[in-house]
Amino acid sequence: MSTLFEPYTLRSLTAANRVWMPPMCQYSAAPEGPLTGAPTDWHFQHYGARAAGGTGLIIVEATGVSPEGRISPYDLGIWNDAQVEAFRRITTFFKSQNTIPGIQLGHAGRKASTDRPWKGGAPLGPEDHGWQAVAPSAVPFDDTHPAPAELTADGIAEIVQQFADAARRSLDAGFEVAEIHGAHGYLIGQFLSPHSNRRTDEYGGSYENRTRFALEVVDAVRAVWPDELPLFFRISATDWLAGEAGWTADETVRFAAELQAHGVDLIDVSTGGNAAGVRIPVGPGYQVPFAARIRGEAGVPVAAVGLITEVEQAEKIVSNGEADAVLLGRELLRDPSFARHAARELGADVHVPDQYHRSV
């Protein structure tokens, strides 16, 4: 029996397998008009193909809790009812394919208001649908980004409420897993790290202060997210900066236990993204050891990411207890039916649409 294709239960939900899809921005929403931030036909076919391909759980890409929280003007958002209605088409299809629908709720902070990656990803001004970015401190991400506006205490409280409102709308849209985006140098990660957080109030300085905003967001979301449904948190386990210059793996292990105490059910473990120009030792499964450490030392369920591309590799990560599930990014972009192909190779069962039974 393949461990990769054993069902996995969190609260009342059971994923049919451990092959999951992580959030990956498509930068394909309308930047203006009545359907700004709403999913389009592109999103439906993109996510639908992976659901039909047997993926057990799909987490829809980073979705802005406010217009200013998007990474780019072309990102998804869930701050109004028109967006909710557009998402329902996707979540309904997921469920018809035995795929759990998840959504990642995020705020880009100082990395907001940028162009699409294939257009260079440069910061955008108002003439190109851009806006003023905000952050814990007025420290730009790099030399190409303008300085963000430092958030006031009232501004922080407003964003916490936006996360809660977005979670409530996500539930209405049919999502069954909510993931809070605390990774890759976006707003929550900016608060966590002393590299980007230079505040001197109750949100900066000590570990307890730097984690305060993240826990406030978690508490606000958990308060509106049903007890029977899981809550995930994506984290960058390290900034890849030496010493105490940034967020560290030791802090991540400590924080994972605190997140669990606040109602988080699973940690989606990535790394990096908060410091420009750092050298990251990229290679097959290079982030898996961070997930394994969190699972082993904090006792919190985890999903592993990072150049997991081979069936045997994915099976080994789960069967060895390094992670409870694997999130396959680039590989699912290349092969929407990875789960079905993996099940065939491992002699396991997976959902196959009736229309595709000739492919079995």
pLDDT tens digits along 94-134: 999 999 999 999 999 999 999 999 999 999 999 999 999 99
CA distances from 271 to 2, 62, 122, 342 (A): 28, 16, 22, 26
In this predicted model, what pLDDT tens digit does every residue of 163-199 receive, in sequence order? 999 999 999 999 999 999 999 999 999 999 999 999 9
For 286, list phi and psi in degrees, rounded to 5: -65, -20
Query: Annotated catalytic sites, by residue?
Result: 186
pTM of the shown model: 0.97
We report the CATH number of the domain holding residue 205 as 3.20.20.70
pLDDT band at 59 (very low <50, low <70, confident <90, very high): very high
pLDDT value of residue 248: 96
* 203 in Cβ contact with 136 (< 8 Å): yes
pLDDT value of residue 232: 98
pLDDT value of residue 360: 74
pLDDT band at 357 (very low <50, low <70, confident <90, very high): confident
| Beta pairing, strands 13-15 & 8-10 | antiparallel
Distance CA 260, CA 80 (A): 30
pLDDT band at 203 (very low <50, low <70, confident <90, very high): very high
CA distances from 147 to 9, 39, 63 (A): 44, 30, 23
Exposed, middle or buried by CB within 10 Å (0-12, 13-18, 19+), for 336?
A: buried
User: How open is the CA angle 271-205-240, to the nearest 5 degrees?
Assistant: 20
Short-list 198, 230, 199, CA closest to 300? 230
Mean pLDDT of the 21-38 span: 97
1, pLDDT greater than 90: no
Tokens representing 182?
């605390």
267, pLDDT greater than 90: yes
141, pLDDT greater than 80: yes
In this predicted model, what pLDDT tens digit does every residue of 209-248 receive, in sequence order? 999 999 999 999 999 999 999 999 999 999 999 776 899 9
Mean pLDDT of the 29-58 span: 97
Express as a percent the part of the chain with pLDDT over 90: 96
Mean pLDDT of the 298-321 span: 97
Q: Is 225 helix (H, G, I), strand (E, B) or coil?
A: coil
pLDDT value of residue 22: 98
pLDDT value of residue 48: 98
pLDDT value of residue 73: 98
pLDDT band at 88 (very low <50, low <70, confident <90, very high): very high
pLDDT value of residue 358: 84
Cβ atoms within 10 Å, residue 187: 31
DSSP string computed for 163-221: HHHHHHHHHHTT-SEEEEEE-TTSHHHHHH-TTT----STTSSSHHHHTHHHHHHHHHH
pLDDT value of residue 351: 92
Domain region containing 235: 3-359
pLDDT value of residue 242: 79
- How many structural domains comprise the chain? 1
pLDDT value of residue 287: 97
